[in-house]
Amino acid sequence: MSRRQAREIALQSLFQLDFNECEVDSAIENVLSHKKLHEADCDFVRILVSGTRENLESIDKMIAEKSKDWKIERMSGIDRNIVRLAIFEMKFSSDKLVPNIAINEAVELAKKFGTDDSARFVNGILGSMIK
């Protein structure tokens, strides 16, 4: 499995957590139960989801500072969680991604899971963070 596929699973788990009252492990296991993954890939998914949720307050504050015209709760759930995941990987992960790679990965997720405008929206917010 590729890291991109792991990010897709992490995004699905984060989306589920955003809209349902459940534990992080439960959301991850729910998504993983439909996939056949190596343990290392499962561990990467858990790091992404747990790390994003543990830093959610700081991440959302960063998003709010860069998206003055959009309140975070009014953003599309997919877009919001894609941006959260990318910020975690750029700013909080012990294995930080180079911003350009994190943005590219986020834009690809937005193209696959979001609306026609999602990729531009995600790119705009994340791009403003690295300037």
Domain that holds residue 61: 3-130
Distance CA 48, CA 80 (A): 15
**Contact 111/68 with Cβ under 8 angstroms?**
no
Whether residue 125 has pLDDT greater than 90: yes
Distance CA 92, CA 128 (A): 18
**Contact 36/75 with Cβ under 8 angstroms?**
no
Q: What is the DSSP letter of 74?
A: G
- In the chain, the number of structural domains is 1
pLDDT of residue 73: 85
Task: State the CATH number of the domain containing residue 34.
Answer: 1.10.940.10
pLDDT of residue 42: 84
- What are 9-68's pLDDT values in tens digits? 999 999 999 988 888 888 888 888 877 777 888 899 999 999 999 999 999 999 998 887
Distance CA 93, CA 43 (A): 13
